[in-house]
């Protein structure tokens, strides 16, 4: 699984890195972010691009898996 | 409560914030300043004695309310995160640069939108610069610009800025230590309790909607995403209706009383500076206050930079003057940007290019 570690990065970097990782990706992409609004943004980006996402809160960050 | 998951909710958040701004303007805040973040930080810096411009000294409860509103709602909805460590000193410098650009134009992006809704054509001219500045910032982002990661810190650290603004509020309410203008824009204000409640409401809605004036245009350029633009559109429409309904809408350049100038090049360059710096800092002045309230010490550094920038602007004669009526002759005296302000603005733009193209993202994210 491809992993994007965007923890602690400022907007819009997490979304830019997610978009880059999703380009032509055939496997699921795991995105790690710190802020709740970044988690929402990543989920929304996935939905807007016809992908499913599931988010889990970990210790001080969120893990969003997009497939 | 999630206000950021649909365009309708985002527009509604903009409408609520627009109503707050209109009410505060109606109840005494300076015309078309209503809720200007740059102006109000500058006034608060004056109240603290950081500069001696007597006409612009007043501890604005709106600024205090914004930070506390964001802090309280983020704690209540478990979005508070105490973080720090993403190039704090560069963010401090970006805060100073944002304020210098804003005071060359005479307003932050929020005030630009408010002035646009009042028919001030200077603000529409400045919008060109703002968009170009954001586009330059987006170009830097695409080239790999990053200020690096922030890390989780002790919970108390992220709350320091909220405690500081609470302290300023206590000093303003219960002591005579702080300076307060007797004439000029600083003397014009809505009742303290209204301004504080307005700030709290605005802060809470801005936190939940992620309202950001630079972010709205950035997202359109970068991702063709109009979500954040809906918030700004909602606010603009409410202020437009308010200005038309109360006879404050005047479509013109050089309108006395609006506190603006018609030096087009400097309106463009002032807002170019603000737009560019705001993209590099991850948000407009309003957003910096909101992020600081929800625990980001990095955003708090940008806020401190804005306070220092405001003080420098008045101590070193960088801030522009607004077009006004001469009380004696009744003649319109055109506002202008002083030479010091022009030089400072150019230096800021050069610094922004250096910051934008020397800070790169780690090669492996």
The model's confidence at residue B237, banded by pLDDT at 50, 70 and 90, is: very high
Is B244 within a domain? yes
Helix (H) or strand (E) holding B83: strand B83-84
Is B363 within a domain? no
Domain enclosing residue B78, as ranges: 7-358
In the prediction, which pLDDT does B349 show?
98
Q: Look at strands A2-5 and A29-33 and give their pairing.
A: parallel
Does pLDDT of B1 surpass 70?
no
Ranges of beta strands (E only) in B123-197 are: 151-152
The model's confidence at residue B71, banded by pLDDT at 50, 70 and 90, is: very high
Share of chain B above pLDDT 90, in %: 83
Rounding to the nearest 10 degrees, give the CA dihedral for residues B62, B64, B66, B70.
Answer: -160
Our count of domains for chain B comes to 1
In the block, which residue shows the tokens 């020397």?
Answer: B358
A13 and B4 within 8 Å at the Cβ level: the answer is no
- Chain B closest-CA separation from residue A19 CA (Å): 10
A16 and B222 within 8 Å at the Cβ level: the answer is yes
Does pLDDT of B255 surpass 80?
no
Q: In sequence order, which residues have a C-beta less than 8 Å from that of residue A42 and are 6 or more positions away? A: A14, A15, A18, A31, A33, A53, A55, A64, A66
Fold that domain A2-66 belongs to in CATH: Translation Initiation Factor IF3 (3.30.110)
Does the structure's ipTM exceed the value 0.95? Answer: no
| CA B265 – CA B261 distance, rounded (Å) | 11
Could you read off the pLDDT of B298-327 as tens digits, one per residue? 999 999 999 999 999 999 999 998 888 887
Distance of CA B20 to the CA centre of its chain: 16
Rounding to the nearest 10 degrees, give the CA dihedral for residues B187, B193, B199, B200.
Answer: 160
Where do the domains of chain A lie? 2-66
Ranges of beta strands (E only) in A1-67 are: 2-5, 29-33, 53-57, 62-66
CA distances from B107 to B258, B262, B271 (A): 11, 13, 9
The model's confidence at residue B254, banded by pLDDT at 50, 70 and 90, is: confident
CA nearest neighbour of B123 among B103, B107, B101, B100: B107
Report the first-to-last Cα separation within chain B, whole angstroms.
31
B147 and A10 within 8 Å at the Cβ level: the answer is yes
Does pLDDT of B225 surpass 50?
yes
Segment 33-52 of chain B within 8 Å of chain A by CB: none
Number of Cβ pairs < 8 A linking chain A and chain B: 61
Helix (H) or strand (E) holding B216: helix B213-223
Claim: this prediction has a pTM higher than 0.80: yes
Could you read off the pLDDT of B149-164 as tens digits, one per residue? 999 999 999 999 999 9
User: Which residues does chain A have within 8 Å of residue B218's beta carbon, measured at their own beta carbons?
Assistant: 12
**Angle at the Cα of B62 from the Cα atoms of B230 and B106, rounded to 5 degrees:** 70
User: Which residues does chain B have within 8 Å of residue A13's beta carbon, measured at their own beta carbons?
Assistant: 141, 146, 361
User: Which residues does chain A have within 8 Å of residue B83's beta carbon, measured at their own beta carbons?
Assistant: 8, 34
Does pLDDT of A25 surpass 50?
yes
In the prediction, which pLDDT does B365 show?
46
3-state secondary structure of B47: helix
């Amino acid at each position: 699984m491809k992993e994007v570690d965007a923890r602690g990065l400022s907007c819009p970097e997490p979304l830019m890195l997610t978009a880059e990782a999703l380009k032509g990706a055939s496997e699921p992409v795991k995105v790690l972010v710190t802020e709740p609004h970044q988690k929402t943004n990543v989920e929304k980006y996935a939905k807007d691009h016809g992908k499913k996402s599931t988010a889990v809160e970990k210790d001080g960050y969120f893990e969003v898996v997009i497939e | 409560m999630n206000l950021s998951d649909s365009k309708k909710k985002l527009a509604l958040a903009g409408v609520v914030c627009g109503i707050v701004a209109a009410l505060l303007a109606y109840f005494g805040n300076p015309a078309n300043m209503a809720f200007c973040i740059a102006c109000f930080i500058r006034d608060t810096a004056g109240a603290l004695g950081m500069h001696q411009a007597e006409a612009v000294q007043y501890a604005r409860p709106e600024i205090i309310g914004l930070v506390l509103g964001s802090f309280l709602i983020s704690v209540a909805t478990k979005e508070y995160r105490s973080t720090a460590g993403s190039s704090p000193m560069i963010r401090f410098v970006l805060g100073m640069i944002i304020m210098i650009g804003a005071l060359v134009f005479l307003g932050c992006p929020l005030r630009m939108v408010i002035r646009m809704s009042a028919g001030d054509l200077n603000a529409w001219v400045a919008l060109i610069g703002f968009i170009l500045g954001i586009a330059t910032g987006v170009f830097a982002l695409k080239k790999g610009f990053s200020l690096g990661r922030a890390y989780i810190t002790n919970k108390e650290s992220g709350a320091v800025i909220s405690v500081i603004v609470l302290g300023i509020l206590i000093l303003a309410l219960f002591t005579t230590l702080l300076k307060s203008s007797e004439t000029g824009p600083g003397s014009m204000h809505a009742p303290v309790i209204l301004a504080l409640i307005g700030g709290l409401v605005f802060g809470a809605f801005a936190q939940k909607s992620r309202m950001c004036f630079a972010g709205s245009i950035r997202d359109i350029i970068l991702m063709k995403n109009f979500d954040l633009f809906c918030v700004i559109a909602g606010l603009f429409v409410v202020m437009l209706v308010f200005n038309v309904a109360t006879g404050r809408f005047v479509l013109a350049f050089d309108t006395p009383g609006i506190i603006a100038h018609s030096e087009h090049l400097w309106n463009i360059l002032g807002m170019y500076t603000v737009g560019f710096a705001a993209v590099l800092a991850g948000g407009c002045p309003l957003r910096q206050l909101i992020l600081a309230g929800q625990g980001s010490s990095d955003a708090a550094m940008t806020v401190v930079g804005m306070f220092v920038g405001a003080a420098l602007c008045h101590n070193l004669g960088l801030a522009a003057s607004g077009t006004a009526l001469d009380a004696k002759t009744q003649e319109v005296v055109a506002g202008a940007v002083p030479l010091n302000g022009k030089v400072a603005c150019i230096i800021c733009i050069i610094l922004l290019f250096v910051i934008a193209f020397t800070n790169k993202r780690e090669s492996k994210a």
